[in-house]
Structure 1
Amino acid sequence: MTEGTNSWLHAARVGLRRGGLEIRHTFTSSQDLWNYFFPSAILLVVMFFMRGAAVPGIDFSLGSRTLPGVLGMNIAFGGMVTLMMALALEREDGTLLRAKAVPNGMVGYLIGKIVLIMGMTLTSMAIVLVPSLFMLEGLALTSVTAWLTLAWVMVLGLIATLPLGAICGSLFTNPRNAGVIMLPVMGLVAISGIFYPISSFPEWLQGVAQIFPIYWLGLGMRSAMLPDQLAAVEIGESWRHLETVGVLSAWAVAGLVLAPWVLRRMARRESGSSVAQRRERALQRTT
């Protein structure tokens, strides 16, 4: 192997090891444990009270129908929002500058973050999914095919959304400003059929929702977890697996092409003086 290849492989191994250590650290941090359990508990309470309501036109629990969409939403949040906030915060405190100073350090840094976010996403999904299997009726996770569908939707969803999080995180020098991205993300959640069938929305709004990954993540998760007759309330009365793969793959390809370029531009602008200026501004805000 060439020296460059060995350097990349070493950076990848460092990133995998760092990601594993950071995941384990989240299980020992009271704040991280709170972030795992508190939002999950709220979602479980919401679905518990929704279980008595029925999906319009079909005698099926609205709570059971909502669960897959919630899991898809969590994947999107993990990919986009968590990575975006991590990049913005660690750009301000100098972590990215230190990674830049090491050969292929940015590669190791990003691999570590990807491993961390995938681990956190799986943990959050398990916290919601396991109690829901006992609390909600009608879920169809009873075959190997269903679990395989759940797996490929989750993996493809993360590949589609993680580059978006990296791009958005690279655009903000102040992590507090990064919070503005939450407004459009929450708007997309509202129109993507997470809590209510999208087929009841105006057609133009359905078209807008179908441009973005959140809708397709929710649809893919519903196809894995719900009986086939529930496809009747979806657009086209179908789970549309080919379209799900196509749209999520398109976002993944676009993100993987753009993210490295955006991250390289961000890394080139990082310097000790820029980090010092951001720290000084942060101190001024707290005093």
Structure 2
Amino acid sequence: MFSGSIPALVTPFAADGSFVEDAFRALVEWQIAEGSAGLVPVGTTGEAATLTFQEHFDVVRVCVDQARGRVPILAGAGSNDTRVAIDNVNAAKVAGADAALMVPPYYNRPSQEGIFRHFEAIAQQTSLPIVLYNVPGRTVTDIQPATMARIVAAFPDVFIGVKDATGSLGRVTEQRLGCGDDFVQLSGNDETALAFNAMGGVGCISVTANVAPRLCADFQAAWAAGDIVKARSLHDRLYPLHVAMFTDASPGPVKYALGKVKPDWPLHLRLPMTPAGDASRAAVDAAMAGAGVA
């Protein structure tokens, strides 16, 4: 269901913090036109942590409605409360998402057994496919490869893949051996997406694709076609931009960058997130110029 370049979409906010639906619809339309192979609304980059339940799934519904089945929608739906996570995944299904993207419980720091039981409880309450999202740098909770294999073995029709943002490339092999060749592995880090694909990944849930969707789509298409030289060339071209996206707290830099490409779009942030600082903006400016994006 998921492969290629899949942007983790920003959520456009007006100066008063309200969701700007027209700008979000325009973002979805532009991403599809530029070759993105799927869309992730209300993930980390979409500032999901600052959205109410109603806002969260309104954004998902708008994304589904605008996409009109042209690309699959993977909706952010995780929580550190298992009961809320169950409500979230069922709400994502009602909103029309094709699958849910779910982190393990954050802050609580459950054991590996607790992680398994969390996802077991979710799987018993939904038929919506789930892509696990392992990002210990944010959640402090790491789904170890053995635990991931156990989750997938118990519910193979529910847990279809992983967005791996551990930065540990060896895990791609470990997870393939444990979860099977059909288990979809997507990089959660743009800067390692080339190496991730070489280890057995099939795409990237990308921050940079918000700003350079065509280049990111072309990079993934080149790799899929076996054109390693072209894929590496595009990777090198995009690499400084990948790095620049995290020179300040995300999504500050990516919203700044997207604002340069689409200056008429409202791209404010909700507290506690703040705009990218001067050094970050300078890095973004230089990387965008180097990539030929702006």
Structure-2-length-normalised TM-score:
0.26
Q: Compare relative contact order (CA 8 Å, sep 6+) and give the higher one, 1 or 2.
A: 1
Structure number having the greater helix percentage? 1
TM-score by length of 1: 0.26
